[in-house]
Amino acid sequence: KPKAITGFQTHTTPVLLSHGERAELANDEYISLTPYLEGLVIVKKNAEYVPSIADSKRK
């Protein structure tokens, strides 16, 4: 049975995930170097990322 999302938080700094927690990237600014966004997740900055107008207004 799939787990339901009960809430979310947006972070702009490194975050330590607890056991059983998963991550979701909000945009393409960073690329995941690991195949799954749970457990240990390693990301790097996407050199080809161009911010959208919506992303610019958010900051």
DSSP string for residues in 15-50: -PPPTT-B---SSTTEEESSSSSBSS--EEE-TT--
Say if 57 falls within a structural domain: no
Q: What is the pTM of this model?
A: 0.58
- The whole-number pLDDT of residue 24 equals 79
Say if 4 falls within a structural domain: no
Range of the domain at 27: 16-49
Cβ neighbours of residue 24 under 8 Å, at least 6 residues apart? 8, 37
- The whole-number pLDDT of residue 49 equals 93
- The whole-number pLDDT of residue 55 equals 63
- The whole-number pLDDT of residue 8 equals 75
Read off the amino acid at residue 11.
H
Say if 27 falls within a structural domain: yes
- Block means of pLDDT (10 residues each) for the chain, 59 residues, are 73 76 83 82 90 67
Say if 38 falls within a structural domain: yes
